[in-house]
Amino acid sequence: MKKIKNSLIYPEKVIERSLGKVPVSKELLNIHNQKRTSSFKFFFYITGLFSILGIAGMILRISDGFDNLSAWSYYITACMFIFTTFMAAPMLSMATKVARGNWRRPISRMSEIFCISGIAGLLFFTPILWVLPSLEDGRKTLWFFDPGKVPAYSPHIWTMLAVVAFVLTALTLLWLNARPDFAILRDKSKGKSKLYSFLAAGWVGSTHQWGALRDRVSVLGIFYFMLLITVHYFLASDFLMAMIPGWVDSLYPATQAHNAIQGGVAILTISIFIMWKWGGYKNFIGLDQLWGLGKLLFGISLLWFWFFISSLMVLWYGKKPNERDVLQILMFGNYLPIFVSTFFFVCIVPFFCLTLDKIRKSFYGPPIIALSVLIGNFLDRLRHYGSAYSLDRTMDEATHRFANLPEIAIPNIVDLMVIFGAVSFPIFLILLVTKYIPVISIWENREYKLYGSHEKYYKTEVLVEGKPY
């Protein structure tokens, strides 16, 4: 392979001189600019419709009052699942960039686009948090006290500031990494040159700009990782400090952060498969990407098992009467199906399936297992919040146990409207954004083609990759 001077990426003339014409830019531009398929339009309008229904359901729920506390378990489950899972997906791009894993280049942009869901989370769930019914400690919501009852340095205020900083950092990283592509679209696309000229912000591809891009992305990527852990710690700690049975666990913040990362890998795996199968990107997404995501999913699922057992041991050996009631609900009561299903979907299925080479090294195995993990992640959060919200706060003074163990809360039509709307809204925004931002980074894949070549080695063919820096 020829040695080429300069740093991260090279001007078009340098590429043409070194390797001849590189067709990757033109092909990706054609895919991005082509008319959306009927399937894309169908899902776009369906998710938009469900988003409207979700907003209507939220308004109805707020206007109906909050007599049934257990119904709010579904709202908190949806809020934590959607916001934490979607916002954890960009971390995969940042982590693999730091590790210089070249296999991530075709999927890094899609990973970054998931940060758009953070906006959906803030817009959709903030009104609900303001009107959430009081818990037994007197708080109006999980994140806010009534005015005048909490000082300005309250950790709940810092939680919201951390969430806002988290979303803004993710959006900034998306814009920085997409600036070179905006410049390409500015010069090549018709009808949207003014928009892309604004988004490109004067990008010309100079050596100074490439160096600044690399440095800023590295610094913000590390900051994003710190915010990811901080936000999940704050959110989980707020639940922990509520002293609600089932949430009193020192591992609770770490468990929630891990669940978010696991869900982020799973949802990215499914998205990449959709892009490969129906998006027209079979020339750019290969087995290397799905295999790499499958290996990550396998390791993270094993770590989930450790957190799962450790959390149960805390409740089991703690011997607190009210927490034993929580265990009774989960392991022997009405929440037993959710408890067993969570363990099956998140642990059993990934472990026994991803150990098989035929499944792990296939195009269909990792996405199916990722779907299983997502289902299990949702049920896992319902296991935490549903049992806690369903408990009757009346306690027997003699035994210090709850007087009545609850029935499982069944969502009504309004609850389902909110849940489906909450899931559809971030997907709708992501589909909308893909019309303006290429879902596969053009400049990163040009670089990928520049540094990689397939060489024959004995009886096989291997990908030989050079390091750009």
Q: What DSSP string runs through 156-209?
A: HHHHHHHHHHHHHHHHHHHHHHHHHHHHHHHHH-SS-HHHHHHHHTS----HHH
- The answer to whether residue 15 scores a pLDDT higher than 60 is no
**All residues at 6 or more sequence positions from 295 whose CB lies less than 8 Å from its CB, including other chains:** 354, 360
Q: What is the pLDDT of residues 214-251, one digit of tens each?
A: 889 888 988 888 888 888 877 777 766 665 666 666 67
Please give the residue that has the higher pLDDT: either 438 or 330: 438
**All residues at 6 or more sequence positions from 368 whose CB lies less than 8 Å from its CB, including other chains:** none
Residue 401: beta bridge partners? 396
Helices 321-331 + 336-343 axis angle, to 10: 70
Rounded Cα gap, residues 206 and 2, in angstroms: 22
The pLDDT value given to residue 271: 93
Rounded Cα gap, residues 11 and 105, in angstroms: 19
- The answer to whether residue 22 scores a pLDDT higher than 50 is no
Three-class SS of residue 106? helix
Coarse DSSP helix, strand, coil percentages of the chain, rounded to the nearest 5 percent: 70, 5, 25
**All residues at 6 or more sequence positions from 281 whose CB lies less than 8 Å from its CB, including other chains:** 31, 106, 275, 439, 440
Average pLDDT over every residue of 288-295? 88
Please give the residue that has the higher pLDDT: either 416 or 144: 416
Please give the residue that has the higher pLDDT: either 280 or 459: 280
**All residues at 6 or more sequence positions from 456 whose CB lies less than 8 Å from its CB, including other chains:** none
Q: Which residue has the tokens 């790499």?
A: 292
The pLDDT value given to residue 380: 86
Average pLDDT over every residue of 353-375? 90
Using a pLDDT cut of 90, give the percent of the chain over it. Answer: 19
Q: Would you mind telling me the total number of residues written for the chain in this entry?
A: 469
**All residues at 6 or more sequence positions from 376 whose CB lies less than 8 Å from its CB, including other chains:** 341, 342, 343, 344, 345, 346, 347, 349
Q: What is the pLDDT of residues 375-405, one digit of tens each?
A: 999 888 888 777 666 655 555 555 555 555 5
Phi, psi of 99, rounded to the nearest 5 degrees: -80, -5
- The answer to whether the Cα torsion of 124, 369, 385, 253 is positive or negative is negative
Phi, psi of 194, rounded to the nearest 5 degrees: -65, -45
Of the candidates 384, 363, 115, which has an alpha carbon nearest to the alpha carbon of residue 242? Answer: 384
The pLDDT value given to residue 9: 37
The pLDDT value given to residue 392: 57
The pLDDT value given to residue 133: 57
- The answer to whether residue 50 scores a pLDDT higher than 60 is yes
Q: What is the pLDDT of residues 162-174, one digit of tens each?
A: 888 888 999 999 9
Q: Which residue has the tokens 């609600």?
A: 244
Cβ burial 179-200 (10 Å sphere, 16+ → b, else e): bbbbbbbbebbeeeeeebbebb
The pLDDT value given to residue 3: 40
Q: Which residue has the tokens 């280049």?
A: 105
Phi, psi of 162, rounded to the nearest 5 degrees: -65, -40
- The answer to whether residue 365 scores a pLDDT higher than 60 is yes
Question: Could you count the other beta carbons within 10 Å of the beta carbon of residue 61?
Answer: 20
Please give the residue that has the higher pLDDT: either 205 or 100: 205
Q: What is the CA angle 406-407-408, rounded to 5?
A: 115
The pLDDT value given to residue 4: 38
